Amino acid sequence: MLLSRGMKMLDSQVNSHLEPKSIWRSIRDSFRSYLALTKPRIILLLLITATSSMFLAARGFPGFTLWGLVILGGSLGAGGANALNHYLDRDLDERMERTRRRPIPSLRVKPFTALIFGITLNIVAFAILALWVNLLSAFLTLSATLFYVFVYTLWLKRSTPQNIVIGGAAGAVPPLVGWAAVTGGIDLPALYLFTIIFFWTPPHFWALALLLQGDYAQAGVPMLPVVRGVSHTTRSIVLYVLVLLAVTTLFYTTQAVGWIYLVGSSAAGALFLLLTLRLLRTSTLRHARQVYLYSLFYLAGLFSLIVLDTTLAV
């Protein structure tokens, strides 16, 4: 009897010590799951493009308060859109090897909870931008979410191999938001930044689609490599990169940027083209991966060049 009571007391003491750790572990795991719903890596790239646009519009640092509000509102808006994408794509995610460990397919977050989470983030984002920045930046952010959710996710992604060509417009909106936050309007340089991202998105995403061709085929998603084949996809990648390089060069003619941007963007673009031409010649997964990874570096570097050019020109 005494031994039994002693063991119960010991178990109680052990559990009392372990319980706080279990609670904190549960909170940490929940935080990570909800953070994963927002796709933070994608948000980071979007914030770089918005920040560069703000620097260009302000001809220097736009001020910490304005910049911070745009970053906060933009992060919440993009995160909310991504959470809604998780909710709507949960059936596809269950069938794809790459995505079946996402929070909803892995049962870490309930679908309805993810839906409410995404809607809430967008409401808060709109309120922050509308109240403390301006209405145009708030509506642009909301329009990007609506386009991404209803046009790309619900319609284009499941119906046409040109899904990312049109749907990529949603990811091109952040420079418009940044410009509108500073100036209150939309001018030619902001439209160029939108166009750069618009033409960057297809080659970036098609390179990824080449790596995940089997996954997309299994899930029934009509990505370009699945529907038209590898050869057609690599030719399309080269074509879009050529158009992209033309747009980035034409941007210099607006006189919004200077020689630092021109030299840097020309060098980065030349390497991008060489990598895609090699992919066209070989059609290997190794070279597709290199194009995909470099495309991330290219966009971040291109918009960082805008900040550098603007800062040194002041």
For the segment 231-279, what is each residue's pLDDT rounded down to a tens digit? 999 999 999 999 999 999 999 999 999 999 999 999 999 999 999 999 9
Task: Report pLDDT for 16.
Answer: 46
Spell out the domain ranges in the chain.
37-313
pLDDT bracket for residue 21 (50, 70, 90): low
Share of the chain above pLDDT 90, in %: 87
Helix (H, G, I), strand (E, B) or coil at 117: helix
Lookup: tokens for 62: 């736009």
Q: Where does the pLDDT of residue 183 fall: very low under 50, low under 70, confident under 90, or very high at 90 and above?
A: very high
Q: 2 pLDDT exceeds 80?
A: no
> How much is the pLDDT for 222?
95
How far, in Å, are 42, 217, 233 from residue 211 at the CA level? Answer: 18, 12, 12
For residues 70 and 73, give the distance between their C-alpha atoms in angstroms, rounded to a whole number. 5
Instruction: Confirm if 145 and 84 have CB atoms less than 8 A apart.
Output: yes
Q: How many CA atoms lie less than 13 Å away from 107 in the CB half-sphere? A: 0
**pLDDT score recorded for residue 7:** 42
Output the average pLDDT for the chain: 93
Tell me the C-alpha distance between 218 and 78, whole Å: 28
**Residue 66 CB: number of other CB atoms within 10 A?**
18
Q: What are phi and psi of 223, to 5 degrees?
A: -70, 155
- Domain 37-313 - what CATH class? mainly alpha
pLDDT tens digits, one per residue of 279-312: 999 999 999 999 999 999 999 999 999 999 999 8
Confidence class for position 102, pLDDT limits 50, 70, 90: very high
Give which of 121, 161, 166, 117 is closest to 141, Cα–Cα. Answer: 121
Query: Measured between alpha carbons, how far is 10 from 12 in angstroms, rounded to an integer?
Result: 5
Q: Enumerate the H helices of 89-187 as residue ranges.
A: 90-95, 111-132, 135-146, 157-159, 163-167, 174-183
Question: Given pLDDT bands bounded at 50, 70 and 90, which one contains residue 6?
Answer: very low
Q: Is 195 within 8 Å of 244 (Cβ atoms)?
A: no
Q: Token pair for residue 164?
A: 């990312």
- Using N-to-C axis directions, what is the helix angle for 230-252 and 188-211, rounded to 10°? 160
* 272 contacts 295 by C-beta, under 8 angstroms: yes
Task: Tell me what pLDDT residue 313 has.
Answer: 73
User: What CA–CA distance (Å, rounded) separates 158 from 170?
Assistant: 17
Range from 25-34, 75-84, 149-158 carrying the lowest mean pLDDT: 25-34
Residues contacting 301, CB < 8 A, separation 6+: 264, 268
Question: Is it the case that residue 84 has pLDDT exceeding 60?
Answer: yes
**Beta-carbon contacts of residue 110 (< 8 Å; ≥ 6 apart):** 104
Q: Which residue has the tokens 């089997």?
A: 214
